[in-house]
Structure 1
Amino acid sequence: MATFVKPVYGLLCAALIAASGVRAEVLGATAIQVKPERIVLLDIQRVGGHLFSAGERGWILHSTDNGRHWQSVRSPADRTLTALAFADEQLGIAIGHGATLLRTTDGGQQWTAVPLDDIGRDSLLGVIHLGDQHFVAYGAFGLYLESHDGGLHWSRRQLLDEHFDRHIARVIKAADSLFLFGESGTLLRSSDLGQSWQALPSPYEGSFFGALVTPAGALLAFGMRGNLYRSADQGQSWQQIALDTKAALQGGAILADGRIVLVGNAGLVAFSADDGRSFALSRTARGGLAQVVAVEDGVLAVGDAGVQALSLKQTAAN
Structure 2
Amino acid sequence: MAIFAKPVRGLLWAVCIAASAVRAETPGLPQATIDPARIILLDIQRVGSQLFSAGERGWILRSTDDGGHWQAIRTPADRTLTGLAFADERLGIAVGHGATLLRTTDGGQQWTAIPVEDIGHDSLLGVTHLGGQHFVAYGAFGHYLESLDGGSSWSRKTVLNEDFDRHIAKVLKAGPDLFLFGESGTLLRSRDLGQNWEALQSPYEGSFFGGLQTPSGALLAFGMRGNLYRSSDQGQSWQLIPLSVKVAVQGGQVLSDGRIALVGNAGLLALSQDDGRSFSLSKAAHGGLSQIVAVADGALAVGETGVQYLSLTKTTAN
Structure 2 length-normalised TM: 0.92
Correspondence for 1:281: 281
Give structure 1 regions of 4+ aligned residues with deviation exceeding 6 angstroms.
26-29
* SS state at 1:201 partner: coil
Letter of the aligned partner of 2:115 in structure 1? Answer: P
Q: Is the 8 A contact 1:271 1:314 kept in 2?
A: no
Counterpart residue number, 1:300: 300
State the Cα distance separating 1:210 from its structure 2 match.
0.8
The one-letter amino acid paired with 1:66 is D
Aligned amino acid, residue 131 of structure 1: G
- 1:215 paired with 2:215, answer yes
How far apart, in 2, do the equivalents of 1:220 and 1:130 lie? 19
Aligned-pair distance for 1:117? 1.1
The Cα shift of 1:153 comes to 0.4
Q: 1:29 to 1:226 in 2, by over 3 A?
A: farther
Counterpart of 1:19? none
Q: Aligned in 2, Cα 1:28/1:42: closer, same or farther, shift over 3 Å?
A: farther
Taking the aligned partners of 1:201 and 1:104, their CA distance within structure 2 comes to 38
* Equivalent residue, structure 2, for 1:14: none
User: Quick one: distance in 1 between partners of 2:261 and 2:140?
Assistant: 26
Using a 3 Å threshold, how does the CA distance of structure 1 residues 128 and 28 change in structure 2: closer, same or farther?
farther
For residue 254 of structure 1, report the CA deviation from its aligned partner: 1.1
CA contact (8 A) 1:27 1:112 kept: no
Q: Shift of the alpha carbon at 1:7?
A: 3.1
Structure 2 stretches of 5 or more lacking a match? 8-25
Q: CA deviation at 1:155?
A: 0.2
**CA distance in 2: counterparts of 1:27 and 1:106, whole angstroms:** 13
Compute the displacement of 1:131 (Å): 0.7
Output the CA distance in 2 between the equivalents of 1:9 and 1:91: 26
Greater relative contact order (Cα < 8 A, sep 6+): 2
Asked if the contact 1:85–1:94 (Cα under 8 Å) also holds between the matched residues in 2, the reply is: yes
Mapped contact 1:30–1:73 kept (Cα < 8 A)? no
SS of 1:98 mapped into structure 2: coil
For the residue of structure 1 that corresponds to 2:88, the secondary structure is coil
Q: Structure 1: which amino acid aligns with 2:234?
A: Q
Query: Identity rate of aligned residues, in percent?
Result: 72
Deviation at 1:33, TM superposition (A): 3.1
Quote the offset at 1:32 in angstroms: 1.9
- DSSP 3-state at the match of 1:141: helix
CA offset at residue 226 of structure 1? 0.2
1:27 offset after TM fit, Å? 6.7
- How far did residue 227 of structure 1 move? 0.2
Instruction: Kindly provide the amino acid, as one letter, of the partner of residue 92 in structure 2.
Output: G
CA–CA distance in 2 between the matches of 1:155 and 1:92? 18
Q: How is 1:105-184 mapped onto 2 (pairs within 5 angstroms)?
A: 105-184=105-184
Contact 1:36–1:307, Cα closer than 8 Å, also in 2: yes
> Residues 91-137 of structure 1: CA distance to partner in whole angstroms, max 9, x if unpaired?
00000001000000000000000001111111000000011110000
Confirm whether residue 75 of structure 1 aligns to residue 71 of structure 2.
Answer: no
The residue identity in structure 2 corresponding to 1:294 is A
Question: 1:163-207, CA deviations, whole angstroms, 9 ceiling, x for partnerless residues?
Answer: 000000000011110000100000100000001001110011000
Query: Hey, what does 2:197 align to over in structure 1?
Result: 197
Distance in 1 (alpha carbons) for counterparts of 2:118 and 2:312: 46
Counterpart-to-counterpart distance in 1, 2:97 and 2:284: 30
Query: Conserved in 2, the CA contact under 8 Å of 1:47 and 1:88?
Result: yes
Distance 1:6 1:218, change over 3 A: closer
Alignment partner, residue 7 of structure 1: 3
- Greater mean deviation of Cα atoms: 305-314 or 56-65: 305-314
Displacement of 1:66 after TM fit? Answer: 0.6
Q: Could you say what secondary structure the match of 2:73 adopts? A: strand
Q: What displacement does 1:295 show?
A: 1.4
Q: Which amino acid aligns with 2:252?
A: G
Task: Render the CA deviation track for 1:287-311: whole Å, top value 9, x for unaligned.
Answer: 1000001112210000011001101
Distance between the aligned counterparts of 2:217 and 2:108, measured in 1?
31
